[in-house]
């Protein structure tokens, strides 16, 4: 399609002039694209949280989930009422499960994360995002 000279704006994208559409020469992102970027941002935010708490080390190793001990009263095997210690996993921000950090690590290092990054147009590979985030925010050494 041959365009008129007045259609071309002064803004350029990757060395090619963009068409001017109204006041904003860049096209609006769809809702699905914004959702995908929000998912990736939340995954990185969770990775930063786990790295700062030290349950994912800077080398990428997953440590055990932090727990607290709580006393509970229940009937024991002999039928007597007794008080026992019970191990309860701690809540880290919105993460409650003892395997959340392992699942997030597995997702970042999988091919699914790389294909997800390719679909939304992220320039960095998923593994590089994982390792750079741990390097910058990690609390524990190897």
Q: For residues 126 and 14, give the distance between their C-alpha atoms in angstroms, rounded to a whole number.
A: 23
DSSP 71-104: EEEEE-TTS-EEEEEEEEEPPBTTB--TTHHHHH
Phi, psi for 106 (deg, rounded to 5): -65, -35
Of the ranges 13-17, 75-79, 127-131, 138-142, which is most confident? Answer: 127-131
pTM, full prediction? 0.70
Which sequence spans correspond to the domains of the chain? 30-137
| Beta pairing partners, 89 | 67
pLDDT in tens, 68-94: 999 999 888 888 898 889 999 998 888
Residues in the chain: 142
pLDDT in tens, 45-58: 999 999 999 999 99
pLDDT in tens, 6-33: 444 455 555 565 555 555 555 677 888 8
Per-residue model confidence (pLDDT) at position 17: 57
Q: For residues 62 and 59, give the distance between their C-alpha atoms in angstroms, rounded to a whole number.
A: 9
Three-class DSSP category at 38? helix
């Amino acid at each position: 399609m041959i365009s008129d000279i007045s259609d071309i704006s002064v803004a350029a994208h990757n060395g090619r002039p963009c068409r001017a559409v109204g006041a904003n020469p860049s096209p609006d992102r769809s809702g699905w694209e914004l959702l995908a970027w929000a998912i990736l941002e939340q995954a990185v935010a969770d990775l930063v949280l786990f790295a700062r708490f030290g349950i994912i080390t800077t080398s990428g190793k997953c440590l055990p989930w932090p727990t607290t001990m709580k006393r509970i009263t229940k009937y024991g095997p002999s039928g007597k009422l007794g008080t026992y210690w019970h191990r309860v996993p701690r809540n880290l921000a919105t993460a409650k499960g003892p395997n959340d950090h392992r699942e997030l690590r597995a997702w970042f290092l999988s091919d699914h994360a790389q294909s997800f990054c390719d679909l939304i147009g992220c320039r960095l590979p998923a593994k590089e995002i994982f390792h750079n985030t741990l390097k910058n925010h990690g609390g524990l050494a190897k």
